[in-house]
Chains A and B, each alone.
Chain A
Amino acid sequence: MLVNVERRAQGSRTMAYMSPVLAMVLTLFTGALLFWIQEQNPLQGLYTFFILPVADLYGLSELGVKAAPILLCAAGLAVCFRANVWNIGAEGQLLMGALFGSWVALQFLESTSGWAMPLVLLSGALGGMCWAAIPAILKNHFNTNEILTTIMLNYVALNLLLFGVHGPLKDPDGFNFPESALFSEATTLPVLIEGYRLHLGALLALLAVVAVWVVLSRTFIGFQIRVLGMDSSAAHYAGFREKKLVLLVLLFCGAMAGLAGVSEVTGPIGQLVPTVSPGYGYSAIIVAFLGRLHPVGIVLASLLMALVYMGSEMGQIQMGLPLALGGLFQGVLLFYLLACDFLIMYRIRWQGFASNVATNEA
């Protein structure tokens, strides 16, 4: 054998950080190859896909608009995943946030009160929390599998949202079209730069990430969450209250996802529509892992994910590239990431042509 694969005694820290970088580089190369197969200039393809969408202030602000909901959900999910609570339900929690928030916003159609907006945001977060509390209670009291309950609740949430937008929340002057009335000025999320769509939600998302960082690395509760995730029996022996922690992480994630939902409807959309989310809650799962459940990583990963979406739009507009290319990029990136992660626990050793020489370097 010229090449030997051996298990590392300990996971490589370097590779844990390098693996996403390596995956990205490999994705770029594969992307260039894909453009070439499409008979497009690879350089121009990569430029259109990854640089042109953010070449001006408008593009950059839109990157923030697109990344904000993904980032909020991913911040919440990272806390859950750190505690080994497999919450797949950020999508449903986001939709419930949008639904609750919209319901409250629609009560303020005539209002100009400064309290309306905070109240709407709060109710959105509350909506997400209520939805996340269900799997938490089911898990704590009936030992249900949260992967299944959270996934199923996503569909329930979507149907509740559809019921709302086709029923009680429908615009009475909207010819029965499934849309709510446009929200009033008082319940529209303030934008950060005049004339652009980048809204307060993006700032909230960054704040959430900082909060996650501080709580996880600097507080006792964060320590408990991490211990629970690494070894639940150790947490149990240490006297940590597992059920309380499960409820806590799910409620936190629900609040974040709910905030993402309400920020979407009161921000860039401006009304409740059936298509609030094109799957932000699911993208956030990918982002959380791509970012190594680490706050900085999550920020970078959410921006990358947003960029791929925008690049796919730009590729269609500028070069007539197929829509599927965007999905391909995402898939290729994940594939390489999983493949490169292999190098965290394993190493590949080049043994040269003189085979069967045992090496025992540490």
Chain B
Amino acid sequence: MTRLSPARLLNGAATLLLSAAVSTAAFAADPLKIGFVYVGPVGDAGWTFEHDAGRKEMEEALAGKVETSYVESVSEGADSQRVIRQLAQQGHDLIFTTSFGYMNPTLKVARAFPKTSFMHATGYKRSKNVGTYSARFYEGRYLTGVIAGQMTKTNTIGYVAAFPIPEVVQGINAFTLGLHSVNPQAKVKVIWINSWYDPAKEREAAEALIAQGADIINQHTDSPAPVQAAQEKGVYAFGYDSDMTAFGPDAHLTGSVVHWGGFYTQTARAVMDGSWKADDTWGGMAVDMVKMAPYNKAIPQTVIDQVEAIKAKIIDGSFHPFQGPIKDQQGELKVADGTTMSDGEILSFNWYVEGVQGELPK
């Protein structure tokens, strides 16, 4: 702890005046200022945690060349636009807005700051200086399905899901396809909690699914609460976003984990050398944006070998989780044998594949 002294106070006041005087003048040698807007707390152990880990990794990789700041728990309502604008106004050259709800606010601010580069995660609207990025989580989710199909005894899997948007439906479908590839009898039950981060609701949903006979819990929400619930009830679970082993050492089988650091570093480099373009990046296992969390010891080696083999095929492009034949819930063939769904189709999923129970909220 530092001591409060008059000299220190004076020094602070002088710094203030000085910083006010020089803040208007930008120097070429200045580090690239990069801002992050987070939807949750950095300690959520999931979505925001991983974005912040990416920020730190980038800071380390480009030490001295970049300077970062972030604002956490920014509401997706009227507040987000002010925060994004403040970051731009305070001289940030590159701003990552890391939640879907920031899409329109990001576009509005970007119009007023044409020289600033904006990157919006998981959105679908772009402009001259707003690019988008997301990860192909579904690749990892398919693999968790392959594991789940061979670990379940009740043939019932519970899925705690946030919002019925394509990104989440895509994950449920990929998981179910993986599940059915090894165990056609297994069923997936989904509970929508209408929130990305609400540990109490996530836990409640997981417990309700376990009470309905689910012996494996999968999740598409941001906190480790479902893994914790599974650990307490003695069933298995898959984490999401980050390695959640610590929250349920026995329960946590593995999980589809995201890794933003490489992408953030690459984007910052592109902005620095002027090659940045406002386009869309949708990276998967091949570019190391999606990974698998460490496997639980309870998974038989044969299953791990099988999963690793499929993973290698996904990486070299010889296998795609959404390649036909794929049937919908009514058993109708939606994707013919020999064809693979396009990115556009995957990004606008509004139907469940065979094996998911219940109706998709429309």
Contact = CB atoms under 8 A, between A and B. Distances in A.
A351 interface: no
B72 A43 contact: no
Contacts of A58: 85, 89
B283 interface: no
B341 interface: no
B295 interface: no
Contact of A314 (B1, B15, B81, B86): B86
Nearest to A44: B12
Interface in A265-282: 267-271, 273-278
A133 B221 CA distance: 37
Interface in B115-151: 124
A43 B69 contact: no
Interface in A306-334: 309-310, 313-314, 316-318, 320, 323
A270 B69 CA distance: 28
B194 A36 contact: no
Contact of A273 (B35, B85, B101): B101
A122 B78 CA distance: 21
B86 A317 contact: yes
B90 to A, nearest CB: 6
A316 B2 contact: no
Contacts of B77: 264, 269, 273, 275-278
B86 A176 contact: no
Interface string A235-254: 00000000000000000000
A182 interface: yes
What class of interface size applies to chain A in its complex with B?
A: 35 or more
Interface in B1-18: 1-2, 4, 8-9, 11-13, 15-16
A115 interface: no
B306 interface: no
Interface in A14-61: 36-37, 39, 41-44, 47, 58
Interface string A255-294: 0000000001001111101111110000000000000000
Nearest to B39: A275
Interface string A162-188: 100011000000011111001000000
B2 A269 contact: no
A282 B13 CA distance: 37
Nearest to B3: A36
Interface stretch (B158-166, B236-244, B248-256, B322-330): B158-166
Given A39-B1, A41-B9, A316-B71, A47 B194 contact: no
A177 B165 contact: yes
Nearest to A268: B78
A42 B82 CA distance: 25
Contacts of B69: 316-318, 320
A197 interface: yes
A39 B12 CA distance: 12
What class of interface size applies to chain B in its complex with A?
A: 35 or more
Interface string A139-163: 0000000000000000000000010
Interface string B351-362: 000000000011
Given A176-B350, A268-B81, A275-B101, A41 B12 contact: yes
A166 B361 contact: yes
B9 A317 contact: no
Contact of B164 (A176, A271, A274): A176
Looking at B11, B13, B86, which has the most chain A CB atoms within 10 Å of its CB? B86
A362 to B, nearest CB: 43
Given A175-B347, A269-B78, A275-B77, A323 B72 contact: yes
B4 A36 contact: yes
B78 A175 contact: no
A320 B90 CA distance: 13
Contacts of B163: 166, 177-178
Contacts of B76: 273-275
Nearest to B347: A175
B41 interface: yes
Looking at B12, B13, B100, B347, which has the most chain A CB atoms within 10 Å of its CB? B12
A91 interface: no
Contacts of B8: 41
A216 interface: no
A41 B3 CA distance: 10
Nearest to A65: B78
B38 to A, nearest CB: 9
Given A166-B361, A264-B77, A278-B77, A41 B165 contact: no
B217 interface: no
A158 B109 CA distance: 28
Contacts of B83: 313, 317
Nearest to B8: A41
A276 B76 CA distance: 8
A62 interface: yes
Contact of B73 (A197, A269, A323): A323
A205 to B, nearest CB: 14
A218 B49 CA distance: 56
Contacts of A47: 16
A317 B194 contact: no
Nearest to B92: A317
B267 interface: no
Interface of A: 36-37, 39, 41-44, 47, 58, 62, 65-66, 162, 166-167, 175-179, 182, 195, 197, 264, 267-271, 273-278, 309-310, 313-314, 316-318, 320, 323
Given A316-B70, A317-B86, 4 more contacts: A41-B11, A58-B89, A178-B165, A316-B69
26 contacts: A36-B1, A36-B2, A41-B11, A42-B9, A43-B9, A43-B12, A43-B16, A44-B15, A47-B16, A58-B85, A65-B82, A66-B78, A166-B361, A176-B165, A176-B169, A177-B165, A178-B163, A179-B104, A267-B78, A271-B104, A275-B101, A314-B86, A316-B69, A316-B71, A317-B35, A317-B69
Interface of B: 1-2, 4, 8-9, 11-13, 15-16, 35, 41, 69-79, 81-83, 85-87, 89-90, 100-101, 104, 112, 124, 163-166, 169, 194, 347-348, 350, 361-362
Give the 9 A-B residue pairs with the shortest CB-CB distance, closest first. Answer: A41-B12, A268-B78, A278-B75, A275-B77, A275-B76, A316-B71, A43-B12, A44-B12, A177-B165
